[in-house]
């Protein structure tokens, strides 16, 4: 009995194995109809122009695919079926569309032979629609880098200053400007190029869900040589006689100028607009415009085209002095007698000079060189240090009597 039982057990095991192998064969080749779910099948949207007419747009970034429950003759056929074997469409012209989520029926236009779609009568796709919006936004050029040393890049010139941004309102409303990124590092000639416009939000992040029209524009950045030149202050009119000009200082003292090489070679300095000294009666600081020759322009980093002109005045004061009149160069054989012994003078100068004046450096004298016996009317010459002016002199002429010395008599003259 034990031997017979073992044989029956072996037979049963062999039957199970044979049945499993047969099942595998049937399910892979000749099984009954089998169901399978095929995912991520693209849905084609027909008549999308109806959206534009309704001022609507499909919100970008949506998953416009569907899944189909399919049935075939066998498992091998089902597993070999791909999404591109189907044409699935949704006709937007058949429905009243509005902003927000819309549930649109979809239709299977094409499917493989021997494949049945089990859920063909209950297929829908949900699309999110938004208001089609456009906005006119400014174009900005972000220039990176610096041109070659000795050269200057002028402001970028663009073919147009603005462009239209079109798309769903939720994206158009966050676009703040259209930018162009360019690099001029090391350039020594004009940059001329066409760039694509990049829509960005307030933080500079690119918004890719909108369309820009036109999508690109032409940019030109002139690159010119530069030259540093000094500034001269131009003046007209005369100061009030009660003042003298102590100094004129200009800030900044130099400007960087750009232009053609020929124009720069001819330029030695810049002039300010004329300052009328007759209208100035105290030390002051004023703004003055710098005059730029035609064909040249200031490098923007140098300033705004104006300078500070610092004008310092010294007040002029007068002072009266009484001087002893002396004579010079009298022949030793003669004596001289002056009609007057003193001269009264009025001098002028700045307060600082007059207050520190050394009176020993101011003299009044008549020159008797080559004069002989007799009476002579001579000019009284006043000698003064620099910075002092003679306003008046009384007398400015005196009578001098020259007599011959007596023999054997010693005479002392006033000199």
User: In this model, does residue 28 exceed pLDDT 70?
Assistant: no
Mean pLDDT to the nearest integer, 312-340:
91
pLDDT band at 21 (very low <50, low <70, confident <90, very high): confident
Structure confidence by residue, pLDDT tens digits, 47-63: 999 998 999 999 998 99
CATH code given to domain 226-315: 2.170.120.40
- Binned at pLDDT 50, 70 and 90, residue 411 comes out as very low
pLDDT at position 11 is 76
User: Average pLDDT, whole number, for the chain?
Assistant: 88
Q: In this model, does residue 412 exceed pLDDT 50? A: no
Q: What is the pLDDT of residue 195?
A: 96
Lowest mean pLDDT among 70-79, 117-126, 305-314: 70-79
Residue 408 has pLDDT above 60, yes or no: no
Model pTM? 0.57
Q: Higher-confidence residue: 25 or 263?
A: 263
Topology match between the domains 132-225 and 226-315: yes
What is the 3-class SS of the chain, one letter each residue?
CHHHHHHHHHHHHHHHHHHHHHHHHHHHHHCCCEEEEEEEEEEEEECCHHHHHCCEEECCCCCCEEEEEEEECCHHHHHCCCHHHCEEEEEHHHCCCCCEEEEEECEEEECCCCEEECCHHHCEEEEEEEEEEEEEEEEEEEEECCCCCCEEECCCEECCCEEEEEEEHHHHCCCCEEEEEEECCCCCCCEEEEEECEEECCCCCECCCCEEECCEEEEEECEEEEEEEEEECCEECCCCCCEEEEEEEEECCEEEEEECHHHHHHCCEEEECCEEHHHCCCCEEEEEEEECCCCEEECHHHCCCEEEEEEEEEEEEEEEEEEEEEEECCCCCEEEEECCCEEEEEEEEEHHHHHCCCHHHCEEEEECCCCCCEEEEEECEEECCCCCEEEEEECCEEEEEEEECCCCCCCCCCC
Residue-level pLDDT at 235: 93
- Give the contacts of 8 (CB within 8 A, at least 6 positions apart): none
Question: Per CATH, the architecture of 31-128 is what?
Answer: Beta Complex (2.170)
pLDDT interval class at 206 (50, 70, 90):
very high
Say if residue 312's pLDDT is above 80.
yes
- pLDDT 10s digits, 89-110: 999 998 889 999 999 999 999 9
Domain boundaries, the chain: 1-30, 31-128, 132-225, 226-315, 316-404
For the segment 192-220, the average pLDDT, to the nearest whole number, is: 95
pLDDT at res. 301: 56
User: Looking at domain 316-404, does it have CATH number 2.170.120.30?
Assistant: yes
Looking at the predicted structure, is the pLDDT value of residue 415 above 50?
A: no
CATH code given to domain 132-225: 2.170.120.40
Quick one: what percent of the chain has pLDDT higher than 90? 62
pLDDT in tens, 240-257: 888 888 899 999 999 989
């Amino acid at each position: 009995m034990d031997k017979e039982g073992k044989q029956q057990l072996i037979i049963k095991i062999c039957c199970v194995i044979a049945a499993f192998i047969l099942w595998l064969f049937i399910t892979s080749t000749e099984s009954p109809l089998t169901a399978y779910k095929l995912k991520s099948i693209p849905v084609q949207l027909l008549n999308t122009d109806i959206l534009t007419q309704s001022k609507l747009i499909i919100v970008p970034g949506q998953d416009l695919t569907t899944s189909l429950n399919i049935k075939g003759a066998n498992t091998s056929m089902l597993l070999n079926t791909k999404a591109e074997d189907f044409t699935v469409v949704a006709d937007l012209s058949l429905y009243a569309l509005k902003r927000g989520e819309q549930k649109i029926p979809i239709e299977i236009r094409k499917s493989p032979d021997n494949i049945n779609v089990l859920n063909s009568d209950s297929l829908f796709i949900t699309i999110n629609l938004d208001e089609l919006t456009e906005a006119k936004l400014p174009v900005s050029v972000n220039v990176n880098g610096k041109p070659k040393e000795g050269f200057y890049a002028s402001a970028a010139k663009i073919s147009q200053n603005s462009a239209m941004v079109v798309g769903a309102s939720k994206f158009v409303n966050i676009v703040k400007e259209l930018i162009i990124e360019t690099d001029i590092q090391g350039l020594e000639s004009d940059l001329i190029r066409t760039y694509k416009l990049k829509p960005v939000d307030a933080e500079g992040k690119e918004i890719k869900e909108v369309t820009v029209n036109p999508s690109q524009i032409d940019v030109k950045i002139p690159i010119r040589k530069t030259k540093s030149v000094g500034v001269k202050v131009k003046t007209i009119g005369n100061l009030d006689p009660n003042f003298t000009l102590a100094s004129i200082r200009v800030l900044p003292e130099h400007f960087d100028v750009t232009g053609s090489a020929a124009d720069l070679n001819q330029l030695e300095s810049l002039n300010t607009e004329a300052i009328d000294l007759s209208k100035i009666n105290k030390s002051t600081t004023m703004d003055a415009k710098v005059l730029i020759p035609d064909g040249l322009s200031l490098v923007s980093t140098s300033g705004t085209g104006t300078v500070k002109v610092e004008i310092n005045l010294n007040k002029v004061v007068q002072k009266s002095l009484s001087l002893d009149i002396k004579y010079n160069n009298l022949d030793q054989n003669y004596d001289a007698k002056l009609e007057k012994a003193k001269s009264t003078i009025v001098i002028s100068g700045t307060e600082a000079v007059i207050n520190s004046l050394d009176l020993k450096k101011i003299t009044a004298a008549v020159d008797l060189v080559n004069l002989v016996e007799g009476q002579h009317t001579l000019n009284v010459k006043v000698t003064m240090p620099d910075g002092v002016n003679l306003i008046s002199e009384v007398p400015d002429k005196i009578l001098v009597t020259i007599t011959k010395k007596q023999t054997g008599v010693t005479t002392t003259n006033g000199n």
